[in-house]
Amino acid sequence: MTTTAGQKSSAGATASIEERAREVPIVTRGLRKDYEMGAETVRALRGVDVEIEENEYVAVMGPSGSGKSTLMNLIGCLDTPTSGEYWLDGQAVQDLEEDELAEIRNREIGFVFQTFNLLPRASALHNVELPLVYAGVDREERRERAAEALEQVELGDRMDHAPNQLSGGQRQRVAIARALVNRPAILLADEPTGNLDSKTAAEIMSVFDDLHASGQTIIMVTHEHPIAAHAARIITLRDGNIESDDATVAADPVAEMVDS
Amino acid sequence: MRGRGFVFEVVRVALDAIRSNKLRSVLTMLGIVIGIAAVITMVALGQGAQQAVQQQIASLGTDVLTVRPGSGWFRRGGGDRARLTMEDVEIVRRGATAVEGISPEMDQSFQVEYGRANGNFRVVGTSANYTDVNNREVDIGRFFDMQENQGRRRVAVLGSAVPEALGVAPLELVGREISIRNISFTVAGVMEEQGSSAGPFSSDEQIFVPVRTAQYRLMGTDEIESFNATVASASSMDMATMQIEEALRRAHRLRPGESNTFWIQNRADILGTFQQTSQTFTYLLAGIAAVSLLVGGIGIMNIMLVSVSERTREIGLRKALGARRRDILVQFLVEALVLCLAGGALGIGLGAGASRAFAEFAGWNTLVSPEAVTLAVAFSAAVGIFFGLWPARRASLLDPIEALRYE
Ligand SMILES: Nc1ncnc2c1ncn2[C@@H]1O[C@H](COP(=O)(O)OP(=O)(O)OP(=O)(O)O)[C@@H](O)[C@H]1O
Ligand SMILES: [Mg+2]
């Protein structure tokens, strides 16, 4: 497995983490996450080292319960690790206060969930406005930018619709518009197509491809190889450890065969 | 802070949440509505009573001292010397220089007749300066004068309610003869109404005659019930009190150490006591009403806790999108505040209505003062903040990822 991505992370392991963090936007070292379940401890992540460059397009794969969501939540600053380090844009995330984490979630991270997580009673436009509310943006500018983001995902004509008046694919596109509206450095998507049929999934993936082409850093969890094939790099987790970390060759049928 | 855009969003979310559970919100609000309405009504009743007492003070004048025999309302005591007579009045007139006017009253009930009409009335023998000393006016005709008193003339001045009690128009009575204890009196005038604002001091049903006429023709005694003395200014009140006491003690031959056979009453003092009592009463009523407000507040807290747990996922989502603890806290506080203020506004309306109803149908004096309304608004806001704070804090402390996972 001597790929470019693999080399990068092994090269990084020798340098001090602060130095690496100055060059690479996302750096983790020995990231662990334990869940206490009564007497027993579930070890969801057992020491993960990852580095992700700007404008990378990464798919995270692995069997159910292998720790994919846990890793995404840590990278997205929604959760804090039991031990280990996580540096984002040169900042040690484990040293930050609640409010500083909130600010990072607001400005640096755009999250897309499997279950969309839209406010059911709010219009598409209002849903997309939410991150801007917490960024302290004025009402007029908020509307303008939210409308712009919705047009970007081709929902300019559905702005006043409530989520239950939209199809699954449209809902996920609203969620993507919401994730992008504050121009985050990283787009995180945890099984974004998990609740969609394959045709709708393909539409969502083409939105992601366009975003990546325009320079967006994307990290995406998926169970499906055709979906993962859109990414340039696949990290595979097993039992809380990284099992493999490879560049994809989307057009190469052999790579697909090996993976499956 | 986050600026106007944020405030707008917070209020919008609060209104949305309240609207999405209309029935629940209304029922919750009802607690506050009733609490505030009760406070407003009770304070209105209490303040109305206080206002009535204040009007009494104003209508009676506070620069008046009343001197009565005995040592208190129900304590005569002091034996034979515990009597006040016209002689005492003369002694005070001469001895108390700080006293300006002095007006005795002796009274007794008599049968009064006019034509076929008759009734029992309190007849008061007093001096010609009664109107000045007691701050009263004559409505029709005139009061009797000093000559008429000296000459023991049979003239009478009627309280404003007397003609009606006899079933005769006031204008018709003036200049006519009425008989008091079968003695014929000429009606000189009718007094202006004193009204209920004078409370226990109202004299609308009395008939006034010259004190010497009363002494020699009606009652056959020089013993008086009381006399009122006015002083030049409120500041000479203490001086006048001292002088009256000194003069009367000497007249009654009281030795040092012996207690007074009369008591000097200061009207401002009595009314002050009345007022204090009614104020205490107001506080008591408001306190009881505030308990219902407290119950309403607990209802708010309960419903806010329900709202927080129902919207756990929403809170998680908002945090994932960058809401800080304080943002969530403010959001739920505003929701509680909106509930309480809306309830408070309705409660003020209801309370004002109830106060008016009390005034209208029960004839009680009520007063919805701006202070009471301000207090009610402040109180409902305080209830909102106090009872909203804990649920809001719980919401703000939720862990984003756990909240998002909440089912
Ligand atoms: N809040 C939690 N409390 C206890 N255990 C948890 C919690 N969250 C996750 N786990 C456990 O941690 C492990 C990793 O969970 P995670 O959600 O990261 O898996 P995943 O790879 O995303 O799986 P899937 O593909 O099914 O979504 C699992 O064994 C899971 O049971
Ligand atoms: Mg998962």
- Which ligand does the CA of A237 lie closest to? 1
Span A100-112, average pLDDT? 96
For B37-51, the pLDDT digits (tens) are: 998 998 888 888 888
Residue nearest to atom 16 of ligand 1 (CA): A67
pLDDT of residue A161: 96
Q: B77 or A118, which is more confident?
A: A118
When mean pLDDT is compared over A63-67, B228-232, B269-273, B290-294, the highest value belongs to A63-67
- β-pairing, B99-114 with B226-231? antiparallel
Largest CA distance in chain B: 104
CA-angle at B387, arms to B384 and B390, nearest 5°: 125
User: Who wins on pLDDT, A157 or B135?
Assistant: A157
Kindly tell me if the per-residue pLDDT of B113 is higher than 50. Answer: yes
Residue A3 scores a pLDDT above 50: no
Query: Exposed, middle or buried, B407 (CB in 10 Å: 0-12/13-18/19+)?
Result: exposed
Tally of CA atoms within 13 A in the half-sphere of B374 that contains its CB = 3
List the residue whose alpha carbon is closest to atom 17 of ligand 1: A69
Q: Which residues contact A208 (CB under 8 A, 6 or more apart)?
A: A57, A187, A189, A192, A218, A220, A230
Contacts for B351-358: CB closer than 8 Å, 24+ residues apart: B351/B36, B351/B37, B351/B38, B351/B39, B351/B40, B351/B41, B351/B44, B351/B376, B352/B40, B352/B44, B354/B37, B354/B40, B354/B41, B355/B40, B355/B41, B355/B44, B355/B45, B355/B48, B358/B41, B358/B44, B358/B45
**First-to-last CA distance in chain B?**
32
pLDDT of residue B45: 86
DSSP H or E stretch at residue A62: none
Residues of B in contact with A131 (CB under 8 A): 321-322
Strand partners, B106: B125
Greatest Cα pair distance in chain A = 53
Q: Flag whether pLDDT at B52 surpasses 60.
A: yes
pLDDT given at position B153: 95
DSSP per position, B196-240: GGGGGG--TTEEEEEHHHIIIIII---EESEEEEEESSGGGHHHH
Mean pLDDT of chain A: 90
- Contact list in A for residue B318 (CB cut-off 8 A) is 130, 134
| A216: alpha, beta or left? (left if phi > 0; alpha if psi -120 to 50) | beta
pLDDT of residue A258: 46
pTM score: 0.73
Span from the CA of B382 to the centroid of ligand 2 (angstroms) = 44
Q: Examine the pLDDT at B61 and tell me if it is beyond 70.
A: no
Q: Which residues pair with A48 in a beta bridge?
A: A31
- State mean pLDDT over A184-213: 94
**Residue B10: band (very low, low, confident or very high) from pLDDT cuts 50, 70, 90:** confident
Please state the rounded mean pLDDT for residues B182-211: 82
The answer to whether B6 touches A130, Cβ cutoff 8 Å, is no
Confidence of residue B62 (pLDDT cuts 50, 70, 90): low
What average pLDDT does the segment B45-74 reach?
Answer: 77
Q: Is the pLDDT of residue A5 over 60?
A: no
Residue type, B170: P
Taking the C-alpha atoms of residue B231 and residue B102, their distance in angstroms, rounded to an integer, is 9
d(Cα A43, Cα A240) in Å, to the nearest integer?
7
B193 or A76, which is more confident: A76
pLDDT at B154 over 80: yes
Residues 6+ apart with CB under 8 A from A149: A128, A177, A178, A180, A181
Least confident of A252-256, B144-148, B213-217: A252-256
**CA nearest to B160, candidates B152, B168, B151:** B168
- Report, as an integer, the average pLDDT of B358-384: 86
CA distance to B66, B68, B186, B237, B391, per residue, from B232 (Å): 15, 21, 34, 8, 65
Is the pLDDT at B126 greater than 50? The verdict is yes
Atom of ligand 1 nearest to the CA of A37: 4
**What average pLDDT does range B192-211 have in this prediction?**
75
Do β-strands A233-238 and A57-61 pair in parallel, antiparallel, or remain unpaired? parallel
What is the sign of the dihedral through the CA atoms of A208, A211, A213 and A215? negative
Helix B312-320 to helix A98-107 angle (10° resolution) is 70
CB of B405 within 8 Å of a chain A CB? The answer is no
Q: At B2, is the pLDDT very low, low, confident or very high (cuts 50, 70, 90)?
A: low
Q: What is the spatial distance between Cα B39 and Cα B325, in angstroms, rounded to a whole number?
A: 35
Distance between CA atoms of B353 and B395, rounded to whole angstroms? 38
Tokens 């009403």: give the residue.
B289
Q: Would you say residue A62 has pLDDT above 90?
A: yes
Measured in degrees and rounded to the nearest 5, phi and psi for residue B37 equal: -60, -40
Question: Nearest CB to A136: which of B2, B313, B321?
Answer: B2
- State how far residue B404 is from chain A, nearest Cα, in angstroms: 9
How far away, in angstroms, is A66 Cα from ligand 1 center? Answer: 7
CA distances (Å), origin A47, targets A34, A36, A244, B50, B371: 11, 17, 14, 77, 66
* Any atom of ligand 1 within 6 Å of the Cβ of A67: yes
Ligand 1 atom at minimum distance from A62 CA: 21
Q: What value does the mean pLDDT take over residues B244-252?
A: 91
Backbone angles phi, psi at B206, to 5 degrees: -100, 160
Amino acid in position A257: M
Q: Does the structure show a pLDDT above 60 at B78?
A: no
Res A182 pLDDT > 50: yes
For residue range B255-291, list pLDDT tens digits in order: 888 888 888 888 777 777 777 888 888 888 888 888 8
**End-to-end Cα separation, chain A, in angstroms:** 16
Is residue B64 helix, strand or coil?
strand
Q: Which residues of B touch A138 (CB under 8 A)?
A: 3-5
* Averaged pLDDT of chain B: 87
Residues 6+ apart with CB under 8 A from B399: none
State the smallest CA–CA distance between residue A223 and chain B in angstroms: 20
Closest ligand (CA of A190): 2
Q: Is the pLDDT of residue B216 over 90?
A: yes
CB distance A232 to A200 below 8 Å: no
User: What is the C-alpha to C-alpha distance for residues A26 and B17, in angstroms, rounded to an integer?
Assistant: 39
Beta carbons of B240 and B231 less than 8 angstroms apart: yes
- pLDDT for res B75: 52
* Contact yes or no for B341/B383 (Cβ under 8 A): no
Q: Does B314 touch chain A (CB under 8 A)?
A: yes
Return the residue whose CA atom lies nearest to atom 28 of ligand 1. A65
Ligand 1 in contact with A64 (CB < 6 A)? yes
Say whether pLDDT at A255 is over 90: no
Per-residue b/e over B306-318, b at no fewer than 16 CB within 10 Å?
ebbeebbbbbbbb
CB-based burial of residue B95 (10 Å sphere; 0-12 exposed, 13-18 middle, 19+ buried)? middle
Which pLDDT does position B140 carry in this prediction?
Answer: 93
8 A C-beta contact, residue B382 and residue B374:
no
CB environment B54-69: b (16+ within 10 A), e (fewer): ebbbebbbebbbbbbb
Q: For chain B, what's the residue count?
A: 407
- CA dist B186 and B209 (Å) reads 10
- Taking the C-alpha atoms of residue A167 and residue B95, their distance in angstroms, rounded to an integer, is 104
Selecting from A105, A122, A139 the residue whose C-beta is nearest the C-beta of B322 gives: A105
Q: Is the pLDDT of residue A126 over 50?
A: yes
Regarding predicted confidence, which is higher, A5 or B397? Answer: B397
Q: What's the whole-number mean pLDDT along residues B377-399? A: 92
Residues ≥6 apart with Cβ < 8 Å to A253: none
- Res A79: pLDDT: 93
Looking at residue A231, its pLDDT comes to 96
* DSSP state at residue B323: -
Q: Which of B135, B139, B141 is nearest to B155 (CA)?
A: B141
Residue A98 tokens, joined: 């609640």
A81-85, A110-114, B212-216, B403-407: the lowest-pLDDT one: B403-407
- What is d(CA A37, CA B136) in angstroms, rounded to the nearest whole number? 89
> Could you tell me if B359 and B366 are in contact, meaning their C-beta atoms sit under 8 angstroms apart?
yes
Confidence of residue B5 (pLDDT cuts 50, 70, 90): confident
For chain B, percent of residues with pLDDT exceeding 90: 50
What whole-number distance in Å separates Cα of residue A64 and Cα of residue A87? 27
Q: In the prediction, which pLDDT does A1 show?
A: 41
Q: Detail the DSSP E strand segments found in A106-256.
A: 109-112, 186-190, 217-221, 233-238, 241-247
Between CA A204 and CA A175 the distance in angstroms is 11
Which of B:274-313 have CB within 8 Å of A? 313
